[in-house]
Amino acid sequence: MSLVHRRTLLARGLASGVAGAALPLFAIGTRPARAAAFSLKLANNSPVTHPQSVRQQQAADRIRQATNGQVDIQLFPNNQLGSDTDMLSQLRSGAIDFFTLSGLILSTLVPPASINGVGFAFKDYDTVWKAMDGKLGGYVRGEIDKRGLIAFDKMWDNGFRQITSSTHPIKLPSDLKGFKIRVPVSPLWTSMFQALGASPISINFSEVYSALQTKIAEGQENPLSLIQIAKLYEVQKYVSMTSHMWDGFWLLANKRGFSSLPADVQAIVAREMNQSALQERADIAALNGSVAGDLQAKGLVFVEVDKPAFRDALKQAGFYAEWKRKFGDQAWAILESEVGTLS
């Protein structure tokens, strides 16, 4: 929370809410409508029309309603407040209250958070949600908590990632040799594409379209849903269905700020955000069924790949051994208990 809402609150003699005591929300709600007692900011990197943004806006609307206008969450989608790297700093300083971020990018602050991105770990969505709503997600949330942030229970889907290219189709790992591929800012991503022989370049999503357009990068990798919604097909020619990793967004809150909210506000926010996360997962699942045809119609050429060859290349390069060492035996055992043996 910013100083501004503290002052607003004090002016109304509601200072007990600021101190963290449970604020009698519904009692306040019976007063005539006026400005919200809690004005909070939620930011993300996804286009306004992406299910993530749509469902977050709906959650904010339901929260406003459930609190009789006392909790006003303003959504800043589409990198309006800066790149992921910028927004993570803003979240930590308390300049923004909530932020959805890929676990892999979060790993720049919370190293274990990239564990779900290990190459070819998940075979399907059932395995993903069982793990992320279960032991693996619980482990990562615990690690996030140790670093001053809160991760809400339900993760938001980004998707299984596919490689696109503007220069040549990627069918085999050898096609990646020296390939200038944009990857998000995360050691695991860089390591994985180096292991595959490519030349990864770390770029925040806010700069991806222009990096592809100006050919700073030849290619990138993202789920089909985002390739469509962010119109990356305009600046890419081929898409290779590698599904090389699954990526999702943690909805994060600044722990200091969030725990200073009254307990009933915290509960309403968590309930509505988690509900929206589940709806967003269903939206992406539905999109997955329809998006390929649309992308083809827009001129993107689909390339069948030899998936096991990519996994073997990672293994040969020592990728699994390296990341098992980095994550540690305990974390790796949790991952393998969810997805089966990896190395």
What is the binding site for ligand X2X (CB under 6 A)? Answer: 45, 102, 105, 158, 184, 205, 222, 226, 247
**CB of 184 vs ligand X2X, minimal distance in Å:** 4
**Between 53 and 222, whose beta carbon lies closer to ligand X2X?**
222
Query: Rounded to an integer, what distance in angstroms lies between the CA atom of residue 143 and that of residue 185?
Result: 20
State the nearest-atom distance from the C-beta of 247 to ligand X2X, in Å. Answer: 5
Q: Copy the structure tokens of residue 128.
A: 């993903």
For ligand X2X, which is the closer residue by CB, 28 or 292?
Answer: 292
Q: How far is CA 37 from CA 8, 64, 234, 270, in A?
A: 7, 11, 44, 18
The set of residues, in sequence order, having a beta carbon less than 8 Å from that of 202 and lying 6+ positions away, is 182, 183, 184, 185, 186, 189, 190
The structure tokens listed for 265 are 């506000």
Question: Shortest distance, CB of residue 89 to ligand X2X, whole angstroms?
Answer: 16
User: Smallest distance from the beta carbon of 240 to ligand X2X, in angstroms?
Assistant: 16
Q: Which is nearer to ligand X2X, 46 or 70 (CB)?
A: 46
Q: Closest CB to ligand X2X belongs to which residue?
A: 205
Q: Which helix (H) or strand (E) holds 181?
A: strand 180-183
Any bridge partners for residue 71, and if so which? 38
Beta-strand relationship, 149-151 and 246-254: antiparallel
Alpha helices in 2-50 (DSSP H): 3-11, 15-18, 25-29
Question: Cβ of residue 264: shortest distance to ligand X2X, in angstroms?
Answer: 32
**Contact in structure between 105 and 185 (CB atoms under 8 Å):** yes
User: Which pair of tokens denotes residue 132?
Assistant: 């992320």
Whole-angstrom Cα distance, residue 82 to residue 204?
10
Query: Measured from the CB of residue 138, what is the shortest distance to ligand X2X in angstroms?
Result: 22
User: 61 or 86, CB closer to ligand X2X?
Assistant: 86
Please identify, using beta-carbon distances, which residue of 105 and 305 lies nearer to ligand X2X. Answer: 105
Q: Give 51's DSSP letter.
A: H
Nearer to ligand X2X, 202 or 266 (CB): 202
Helix (H) or strand (E) holding 189: helix 187-195
Q: Which is nearer to ligand X2X, 220 or 254 (CB)?
A: 220
Task: Tell the smallest beta-carbon distance from residue 261 to ligand X2X (Å).
Answer: 26
